[in-house]
Structure 1
């Protein structure tokens, strides 16, 4: 008997679960609270213009654009230029071996229509409560699988197009100072810092640093810095560090405080996180 050797096909981007799916129109003064979560979020801007802070970068995003937020990436959005933006948001867990280096991508009219169709199929196939996808409706699985496959293909087309226009981060004075603050915090995530340390390093007053940071993130510098430490803690725990080693390396003098804050952000204690991974 002839021996057949299979050629294994590995999906480079595979959606495993859905979290949210909703369409919304903002008023011209709308802004969200900054957030970090451990799943992907894609935003399709249909109309108007939104501002986005995404980790260190700030973008002004008009219609026919797709925004991709990667897991554990800080992000916040707001209305810009007195417009009333309309957007669709779909968030999901996914396995990927692709390096997603961009954040904001231009879409063709056909791609926007396709994204809207994917959203309509998802919302018609699932029970959605308070914007969250909670279950699949009876008979909805085949349509949902088709929509998920279409979303995977659309995103692969966006991510994989080397010549597709991608937005550049804002170069305004405030945005530049914001990036300086974010970079300093990221570079010194293991240190014990206060607001005065951050302001001094960035050549600003403490009040000026607070004002600029809050403008783009909607939160305080030290709260974000603690969240950044938790992101780094996840990396350290995944690499085999103990809870005690992780807390000390990140400048937490009190292991119990570290564990409490870690659980507040992730929903699990550090020990439970290690056990589950």
Structure 2
């Protein structure tokens, strides 16, 4: 008698939003953003300073970072000659996805081979697609015309992520003085997320001037302190809503003047209504 061994799917990519290779010159700054799906940045060549929420990393070729949904992320190209990136964003589900949160991996030779095989597969098919007038060719265009393309791409990515979880090495966060101060300031914001701490208060806690703390948020987050705090509140709100908290309760816990104002802010920042998120992942 044959026994059936069920496949326990640990990671499954459900949607892709972007997938492209790009070169940026030294000094290029990608402005901070946050969205309700995952984003991955892989350094093909060069060096970059990458931030994800309060964490700051100095990455080089072969490094890959995963930004979880609603994580504010930004990068600055620091290497001479610029840097080449592979960037893709996606939605995924499965019990192993949290293992990719707040981590940077240094790829092994076998993991780089997965990416090389994936790019070879993509290039052979994407080059068949007409290049638009802008000169930008999205690697997602074949989704519309090649029936097997999307699943093959998902399989490559799932293989890569499972391999990283199983054997990848994690990079340490930057110990640069500015990065340490930035993390300290973010911890203070998280500890006081129920209210609206002022810029002078945050600067005093971080032992720097108001001008310095504003500069650090611009450097590592690409947005002002109050905007960053709002995004932290939205992230906390999403987690509370997922855990069954009422919309009115979340608004009160996070220091919003009214439920309606909270709902408008949540919709503006996440693209979702808080009532639609209750009990569901962002």
- The answer to whether the superposition gives a TM-score over 0.5 is yes
In the TM superposition, residue 122 of structure 1 has moved relative to its aligned partner by: 4.6
In the TM superposition, residue 13 of structure 1 has moved relative to its aligned partner by: 1.1
Distance in 2 between residues matched to 1:149 and 1:217, nearest whole Å: 32
Contact 1:45 1:87 in 2 (8 A): yes
Distance in 1 between residues matched to 2:34 and 2:223, nearest whole Å: 12
Does the C-alpha gap of structure 1 residues 218 and 90 become closer, same or farther in structure 2, counting only changes over 3 Å?
same
Does the C-alpha gap of structure 1 residues 186 and 25 become closer, same or farther in structure 2, counting only changes over 3 Å?
same
Output one character per residue of 1:228-268: Cα deviation in whole Å (capped at 9) or x when no partner. 10111111222222222111110011322212111111112
Matched, 1:89 2:93: no
Q: Which moved more, 1:94-103 or 1:77-86?
A: 94-103
Distance in 1 between residues matched to 2:244 and 2:101, nearest whole Å: 27
Unaligned runs of 5+ in 1: none
User: Could you tell me which residue of structure 2 aligns to residue 160 of structure 1?
Assistant: 166
User: Could you tell me which residue of structure 2 aligns to residue 69 of structure 1?
Assistant: 67
The 5-angstrom pairing of residues 85-234 of structure 1 reads 85-98=83-96, 99-100=99-100, 103-122=103-122, 124=125, 131=138, 133=140, 136-138=143-145, 140-161=146-167, 164-234=168-238
Root mean square deviation of aligned Cα:
2.6
Does the C-alpha gap of structure 1 residues 252 and 78 become closer, same or farther in structure 2, counting only changes over 3 Å?
same
TM-score by length of 1: 0.88
TM-score by length of 2: 0.86
Does the C-alpha gap of structure 1 residues 79 and 250 become closer, same or farther in structure 2, counting only changes over 3 Å?
same
Distance in 2 between residues matched to 1:264 and 1:142, nearest whole Å: 36
Does the C-alpha gap of structure 1 residues 18 and 101 become closer, same or farther in structure 2, counting only changes over 3 Å?
closer
Secondary structure in 1 matching 2:32:
coil
User: Could you tell me which residue of structure 2 aligns to residue 15 of structure 1?
Assistant: 13
Task: From 28, 48, 59, give the equivalent of 2:26.
Answer: 28
Distance in 1 between residues matched to 2:84 and 2:247, nearest whole Å: 44
The 5-angstrom pairing of residues 29-44 of structure 1 reads 29-44=27-42
Contact 1:19 1:132 in 2 (8 A): no
In the TM superposition, residue 271 of structure 1 has moved relative to its aligned partner by: 2.8
Unaligned runs of 5+ in 2: none
In the TM superposition, residue 204 of structure 1 has moved relative to its aligned partner by: 2.3
Contact 2:40 2:89 in 1 (8 A): yes
Contact 2:243 2:279 in 1 (8 A): no
In the TM superposition, residue 272 of structure 1 has moved relative to its aligned partner by: 3.9
